[in-house]
């Protein structure tokens, strides 16, 4: 196991403002009444746990696809990748509830070939229809071995903002932090046919530390027929 370079604080910067405001309010109300301050302290503790962003060890091995988010596996199936010319793919989906870490990490080493944002609805992210109907941001990566992998950030029922800091042409390493989704959400990963899933529906997973699948040694299935 190795710890990837992780150049950011253990508390995600996306939550600094919310956490600071909640702490100031909790302290201010506490000076007036401890009982009245209890809900403010509860929210401050919730914000602290929600925006935690710990480093995670990455397993070593060839052709590994690492989990892009903390949560629970809600989908492992063959499906068309709508962000890569409809290629038939192995789709694996991770659902994040409000108690999971919500930073997103790259599932593979690769160079970003496209990023596309789609406005949409805010259905419960654990539902299958959320993949294509909710607000989402799709990132297509090309690995050094020639595989194409798509990672899609999907907003959930209460998620109101998808953040993606990556740019087209940028290289990412497996486990590198590239985005964040505030509150309950989902990440879909589309892999070439021949990939071998290492998880099943219902598994609890951790970003970077959990292996989602192993890519095939031969990337010839990756390019869709034209």
d(CA 145, CA 86): 21
- 30: annotated active-site residue: no
Contact 215, 92 (CB under 8 A): no
Contacts of 66 (CB under 8 A, 6+ apart): 58, 59, 105, 106, 107, 108, 174, 175, 207, 208, 209, 210, 211, 212
> Choosing from 89, 126, 185, 195, which is the catalytic residue?
185
d(CA 1, CA 57): 6
**Active site amino acids:** 185
């Amino acid at each position: 196991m190795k710890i990837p370079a992780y150049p950011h604080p253990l508390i995600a910067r996306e939550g600094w403002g919310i956490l600071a405001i909640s702490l100031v309010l909790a302290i201010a109300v506490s000076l007036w009444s401890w009982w009245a301050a209890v809900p403010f302290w509860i929210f401050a503790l919730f914000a602290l746990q929600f925006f935690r962003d710990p480093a995670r060890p990455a397993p070593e091995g060839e052709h590994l696809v690492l989990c892009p988010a903390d949560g629970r596996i809600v989908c492992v199936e063959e499906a068309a990748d709508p962000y890569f010319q409809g290629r038939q793919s192995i789709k694996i989906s991770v659902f994040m509830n409000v108690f999971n870490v919500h930073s997103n990490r790259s599932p593979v080493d690769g160079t970003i070939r496209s990023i596309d944002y789609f406005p949409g609805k805010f259905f419960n992210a654990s539902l299958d229809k959320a993949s294509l109907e909710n607000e989402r941001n799709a990132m297509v990566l090309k690995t050094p071995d020639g595989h194409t992998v798509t990672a899609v950030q999907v907003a959930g029922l209460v998620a109101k903002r998808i953040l993606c800091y990556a740019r087209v042409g940028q290289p990412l390493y497996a486990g590198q932090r590239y985005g964040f989704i505030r509150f309950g959400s989902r990440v879909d990963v589309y892999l070439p046919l021949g990939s071998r899933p290492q998880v099943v529906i219902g598994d609890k997973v951790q970003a970077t530390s959990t292996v989602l699948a192993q890519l095939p040694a031969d990337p010839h299935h990756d390019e869709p027929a034209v």
